[in-house]
Amino acid sequence: MSNPTPQPAPPPRALRWAVAGSVVVMIAAGGLFYYASQLAASKRQANHNEIAVTIHGHACEPNALTVPAGRASFRIINRSDRAVEWEILDGVLVVEERENIAPGLSQVINANLLPGDYAITCGLLSNPRGTLHVTPTAESDAQAKAKPSMVAFIGPLSEFRVYLSAQGGTLVKAVTALQQAIDAGDLAQAQALYIPAREAYQRLAPASQRLAELDNAINARADYFEKREQDPAFSGFHRVEYSLFQQRSLDGLAPIVQRLLTDVSTLKQQLLAQSLPPEQLVSIVVRNLNSLAEGRALSGEEERYSHIDLNGFAANLEAAHKVVDLMRPLLGKSAAELLPKIDSALAAFDSELAGFKTSTGYTTYDSVTADQRKQIAGKAKALAAALDGIDPALGLSGLQ
């Protein structure tokens, strides 16, 4: 009698579970791929009206634009050989901007535009400016008629002017002390005094960045000049920083710091002379925080010679705290549900920066890891998003 054919042994339980797990993973991966493709498609659909602007070495293309009033999206494509910025200006005031657009990459700028004529800066500060013409629409006319009463904002705006005056005075005193150390030939003292001067400026940065020409004179980085650090037009804080911390020399620095002192004195006057509409009180802080999150925190570009970036971030956060405190009574009446989210985001950013404090201030940014920089950027971005809900809650959205 023949022997029965041997039957294969059943697969081990672990193997059966592995096969089943593989099927589940494949299904999940397929679902994630579908979700990602749908999300990408929706983003493309949402941004199908993007206006493309290409930055070349010495010009933008196109350099004259016409758009309807309301929300507009501009995709800025950098085809030059350096990181650049693109700004929309209303006279001397910055309406919207994007800094540090890396070579070969693009970034999207979303702007809520009122009817009128604007200027465009494009890349190098020496490049010719473009024009942006915004035509009125039925919606923009209706929004202009539906503005909320400005009476409730008189108090916060008046107190913000007091804040600007006080911080402007602190900035002028700090730069005066810095100038005296440079004139005395004391490099170590000048390096030490550069820090409080920069902190004073960064507490004013959200407001001062509205003043395009003056802010460029005070705060422009070397990238925005044709010959970078060697360009005769390169001045302001970062030219001083370059000499103090990169060259470690005071040679030729006296006239540069004298001009800086003149410019910060003018800045204090201009900040008080320029009116600030209520719809910009929060938005200038949001723009500053987004700039921090999307560029400065990740790259360490702002203080590339001294690496005191964290001091500046903390000063920016102080300005955010101030604006929230000014708006808190209005929010308590009209949008109390926003306050816990805003306070939580403020506390999270405070806590993040506190982790880098030392006995003498903050650790230098060249010792902060890439992952830590992402954490800082994330906290700044979350705070910007929380603050961005204030204007709609108070009926100010669509007015800036």
User: What one-character-per-residue DSSP string does 41-100 give?
Assistant: HHHHHHTTTPEEEEE-SS-EES-EEEEESEEEEEEEEE-SSS-EEEEEEETTEEEEEEEE
In a domain, 306, yes or no: yes
Chain-centre distance of CA 195, in angstroms?
20
In a domain, 39, yes or no: no
Report how far residue 285's alpha carbon sits from residue 342's, in angstroms, rounded to the nearest whole number: 13
| Amino acid (1-letter code) at residue 201 | Y
**pLDDT at residue 327 in the model:** 94
Domain interval for residue 76: 51-137
Residues 175, 323: one domain? yes
Residues 160, 306: one domain? yes
Tell me which of 85, 107, 137 is where a domain ends: 137
pLDDT tens digits, one per residue of 92-123 = 788 888 888 888 999 898 888 889 999 998 88
Residues 168, 67: one domain? no
**pLDDT at residue 397 in the model:** 66
pLDDT grade for 141, boundaries at 50, 70 and 90: confident
Residues 167, 118: one domain? no
Residues 242, 118: one domain? no
Tell me which of 137, 167, 194 is where a domain ends: 137
Residues 246, 104: one domain? no
Extract the tokens encoding 223: 């990238």
Residues 162, 302: one domain? yes
CA–CA–CA angle 187, 298, 48 (5° rounding): 135
Residues 259, 376: one domain? yes
Comparison of pLDDT for 180 and 122, the residue scoring more: 180
CA–CA–CA angle 363, 367, 371 (5° rounding): 110
Percent of the chain with pLDDT over 90: 64
User: What one-character-per-residue DSSP string does 150-202 give?
Assistant: SGGGHHHHHHHHHHHHHHHHHHHHHHHHHHHHHHTT-HHHHHHHHHHHHHHHH
- Which CATH number fits the domain that encloses residue 59? 2.60.40.420
Q: Which residues pair with 131 in a beta bridge?
A: 64, 119
CB atoms within 10 A of CB 184: 11
pLDDT at 144 over 70: no
Residues 319, 349: one domain? yes
Tell me which of 137, 160, 194 is where a domain ends: 137
Residues 128, 180: one domain? no
Extract the tokens encoding 24: 């589940």
In a domain, 146, yes or no: no
Which has the closest alpha carbon to 383: 298, 312, 289?
289
In a domain, 43, yes or no: no
Radius of gyration of the chain (CA): 26
In a domain, 23, yes or no: no
**pLDDT at residue 370 in the model:** 97
Helix (H) or strand (E) holding 120: strand 116-122
In a domain, 81, yes or no: yes
**pTM score, two decimals?**
0.78
Scored b (16 or more CB within 10 A) or e, 277-300 reads ebbbbbbbbbbbbbbbbbbbbebb
In a domain, 17, yes or no: no
- Which CATH number fits the domain that encloses residue 242? 1.20.1420.20
Residues 284, 232: one domain? yes
pLDDT grade for 57, boundaries at 50, 70 and 90: confident
In 337-389, alpha helices (H):
339-354, 370-387
Residues 369, 319: one domain? yes
Torsion over CA of 101, 107, 110 and 116, rounded to 10 degrees?
A: 60
| Domains contained in the chain, number | 2
Chain-centre distance of CA 211, in angstroms?
15
Q: What residues contact 65, with CB distance under 8 A and at least 6 apart? A: 51, 53, 120, 130, 131, 132, 133
pLDDT at 135 over 50: yes
| Helical axes 283-291 vs 309-334, angle rounded to 10° | 150
